[in-house]
Chain A
């Protein structure tokens, strides 16, 4: 089981001081969060990709490459990489390059992006969102697995005798997660390829995601990648902790009330009862996080959102210290009673080993 943090990279005023960080401060804060994640024993750091203010991370592999040079263990990922508006050729190249620089500590999560104007800025149309996600990923999948690709599709100029460089590290493409909040088509896509499925469940009630994840699991088995219980599932979580539960609520409330996504809507109490958001003591976060397994089955990756809504870096780093304290507890509890057949999240090492095994079997 992997634990990590994912960040949207929003530049949001701190509602308690009115101060807005500069872009430089926010970008450096994201790096500091990643370094801290490794320091406290987390496994994964994932950055969003955005091409509009108030977000800064437009160039994820640049940031992840820099973090790769300053970390040793951390898996570098995205949440999400826009498979709709990015050229799949450039994604293939950027992430293969990152793989080499990071010695394989790379995977990525495909997403469509939900901001209408971003599509035309990159010459696309949001109404083609699902089609773009399907066609572009199919090309990306081939570019990492075939040295020379001839290709023709509806959304990109054809390719004749094209080789994406560098080739994936050790001939092993980065593991791919497909992120979706509501589309059964994306669950179907992840299942078809035997890729991971990440349900960003943090803003909505669990009932919806139970159906989405069950669909992915059923179709994963249907396509012959393993049993439904072996499908590779990732989940989000959103937490704010203080030793004392009331302190956490008091401190987080102004951030919640003014948060860009859900602020000025439901009360903190309503939202915590309806979504994975947990504001309280470390023990309460442990309990809520462990409940995910009951709803969604044993899963592989848990990413927490800890740095949005204008929370200052100092506070976020304190949150990471607390996460570092509870993650060993979570590891132990999630391991207890986990069926032996449930795999860990694929890593470069495990994928390389599996590829070598397949090769040996063919011989």
Chain B
């Protein structure tokens, strides 16, 4: 079955970021049968900080990272802090191996106290995932506090974004993680200055 990882950087409990992430995952599930693995970064906050210091993930964080990079698709939701993604969200992205999200279908979401921050999706999150060479769906979903009390709008955006991610995932080959140990460049090629065959 298609797997999606749902990463939420929400810090409070309950958290509107968790709520938005769950709604997005349910939206995808309504269109396509998916297995969902949800990660609340708060639960591995110290592990992420330790990884930044030591250069390796704890066993607990490694399981989370493996879930995220091994999933067929990713839903990534962060609260908006000081006009950008949260530090914890970025730190988690920073401990992922380079290229590990390359080509991965990603749906981005953000939450905030006011709709004035809604462009955080397009000036902060989208460029970040563009740099990571992820395949970000056109619609991102921003939920301000006021959206949770609106009759329409948010649900429509969730449905549209979820359908876009489901569309990208449908019929796609399962994610195949890169294994640099399994695919070693023979030495004669290294000697000839060819790092990558």
Contact = CB atoms under 8 A, between A and B. Distances in A.
Interface in B162-197: 180-181, 184-187, 190-191, 193, 195
A265 interface: yes
Contact of A274 (B53, B58, B191, B193): B58
B1 interface: no
B53 A266 contact: yes
B54 A185 contact: no
A26 to B, nearest CB: 24
Given A203-B55, A274-B58, A265 B185 contact: no
B1 to A, nearest CB: 27
B50 A130 contact: no
A33 to B, nearest CB: 25
Contacts of A274: 56, 58-59
Interface residues of B, number: 19
B132 interface: no
Identify the interface centre among B59, B187, B191, B193: most chain A CB within 10 Å of its CB: B187
Contact of B56 (A130, A131, A208): A208
Given A134-B190, A134-B191, A265 B181 contact: no
B49 interface: yes
Nearest to A137: B191
B72 to A, nearest CB: 24
Given A184-B184, A185-B184, A208-B56, 4 more contacts: A203-B55, A205-B59, A215-B184, A274-B58
Interface of B: 49-50, 52-56, 58-59, 180-181, 184-187, 190-191, 193, 195
24 contacts: A130-B195, A184-B180, A184-B181, A185-B185, A185-B190, A185-B195, A188-B184, A188-B185, A188-B190, A191-B187, A203-B54, A203-B56, A204-B55, A212-B181, A215-B184, A219-B184, A263-B53, A265-B49, A265-B50, A266-B53, A266-B54, A266-B58, A271-B54, A274-B59
